[in-house]
Amino acid sequence: MIVNRPDSDTFRHVMGHFGSGVTIITSSASGGPVGFTASSVASLSLDPLLLMVGVSQDSETLEAIRGSGAFGVNILRRDQVALAARFASSKRHDRFRDVGSEVMATGSPLLQGSLAWIDCALHAEVPAGDHVVALGRVEACAAFDGEPLFYYRGDFGGWAP
């Protein structure tokens, strides 16, 4: 069914068909490490190396990204569903419980045990409606073997070639 001038629920439903990986965006605030679950992440430029993250204007992590001028992208493994749910919940104080993290060159914390990570300096911030697009300049990155976590039509799952 074609929907002209769709409302936000219809748009969300349609975009839910675009399966994605799942990340936790981390940054450093005065009170300690902060972070949130994000699937609106994409590689953007090779010269310079840039990636993009869609961040809600309401995100509390956005203030830390602006303040520190840096953020980390932690690409999650298939078995990290509980972590993805925890970093999306409104109980912010609980997010780093029992999670090992390491401070990287930019000052951002990176989660131990992720499938891959990218340490970024904030290159630019582009307003985009109720979100901003945070452009990250890649300072360091690493990837490891393992199964990725996916998000598709509101559910978490694994990769099935």
Q: How far is the CB of 141 from ligand FMN (least distance, A)?
A: 19
What would the two tokens of residue 77 be? 């493994």
Quote the CA–CA distance of 33 and 98 in Å, as a whole number: 13
What would the two tokens of residue 46 be? 């090779």
Q: How far is the CB of 21 from ligand FMN (least distance, A)?
A: 10
Complex with ligand FMN: residue 5 or 60, whichever CB lies closer: 60
Quote the CA–CA distance of 155 and 147 in Å, as a whole number: 16
Element holding 151 (H helix, E strand): strand 150-152
Complex with ligand FMN: residue 24 or 138, whichever CB lies closer: 24
Quote the CA–CA distance of 68 and 97 in Å, as a whole number: 22
Q: How far is the CB of 24 from ligand FMN (least distance, A)?
A: 8
Complex with ligand FMN: residue 60 or 94, whichever CB lies closer: 60
Contacts of 32 by beta carbon, 8 Å cutoff, 6+ apart: 96
- Between β-strands 23-29 and 70-75, what pairing exists: parallel, antiparallel or unpaired? antiparallel
Complex with ligand FMN: residue 34 or 138, whichever CB lies closer: 34
* 35 touches 91 (CB < 8 A): no
Q: How far is the CB of 137 from ligand FMN (least distance, A)?
A: 19
Q: Contact positions toward ligand FMN, by CB under 6 A? A: 22, 36-40, 54-56, 59-61, 88, 90, 92, 151
Q: Which residue is nearest to ligand FMN (CB)?
A: 40
Q: How far is the CB of 29 from ligand FMN (least distance, A)?
A: 10
Complex with ligand FMN: residue 2 or 82, whichever CB lies closer: 82
